[in-house]
Structure 1
């Protein structure tokens, strides 16, 4: 008889604990989804960015980039300035100043590191966390020998 009562109490406690745990998990999920919805973002693109590669005082070629980025619209309203032209400037500076880029093997280039550096630099210049993410849509290199001899527009 005592054994049946103990088993009944254990089953009751387990059922109550499961219901309380389920309620807490559902409340956490709802809280996360509400927080995610509260942050309104917008995807944007830069125009094509051409960065000259200069070695020994001579232009050796051009790095060509096309970036996409996500902005936080609420932070954009309070920012000192729009991040659009600043992102282009920071991307140009990053590639122009980085002498370690091996343009013959762009597959080895750390695009994630560049994206993080661009986010930090742009947000620092606009004095707000406006840029959420930067993606690289195109990153190629055109040697100067490929650009000479092309017919003009």
Structure 2
């Protein structure tokens, strides 16, 4: 009876010890990753733009519309010092790029190169400021509505 009780206590201690060892070994890595991620985004603000509607013209006719909304990251301390916020520049650059785009596929709009659009917007806005103000541009909404899908009034 005493041997059975001793084996039970021994098994419990081994199980608790191995669990503690496993948690202490893996817990440090997660904490380091969490600290690195928090440092990467420290001080950055995500700001959302208003929606823009861009008419897409091809063959001298409006083929449809793109409705888009963007999010950009900016250092919070830098944003407080700016007299003109980046949002108008982000929207202006997005409108110019989309409106003048020659490579938009009206039959397959999902093939549009959004990565290059985001990079071009970021680079152009930062060139206007003469410094790296906008760190990243993201897409919050990007919809293509063919003209034949819009309701006509009249």
Which shifted more, 76-85 or 40-49?
76-85
2:47 paired residue number: 44
Q: Choose from 78, 89, 92 the match for 2:92.
A: 89
2:128 is equivalent to residue 125 of structure 1: yes
1:54 paired residue number: 57
Offset at residue 45 of structure 1 (A): 0.9
2:11 paired residue number: none
Q: Supply the distance in 1 between the matched residues of 2:87 and 2:98 (Cα, whole angstroms).
A: 17
What secondary structure is seen at the aligned counterpart in 1 of 2:47? strand
Cα separation, partners in 2 of 1:83 and 1:48, compared to 1, 3 Å: same
Offset at residue 41 of structure 1 (A): 1.0
Contact 2:105–2:112 (8 Å) recurs in 1: yes
Number of residues paired by the alignment? Answer: 121
Offset at residue 90 of structure 1 (A): 0.3
Q: Choose from 137, 140, 147 the match for 1:137.
A: 140
Contact 1:68–1:136 (8 Å) recurs in 2: yes
Pairwise CA RMSD of aligned residues?
Answer: 2.6
2:66 paired residue number: 63
Structure 2 residue ranges without an equivalent (≥5): 1-31
Cα shift readout 1:30-51 (whole Å, capped 9, x = no counterpart): xx95x93695111111111110
Offset at residue 85 of structure 1 (A): 0.5
Cα separation, partners in 2 of 1:99 and 1:37, compared to 1, 3 Å: closer
What secondary structure is seen at the aligned counterpart in 2 of 1:148? coil
Cα separation, partners in 2 of 1:114 and 1:38, compared to 1, 3 Å: closer
2:116 paired residue number: 113
2:107 paired residue number: 104
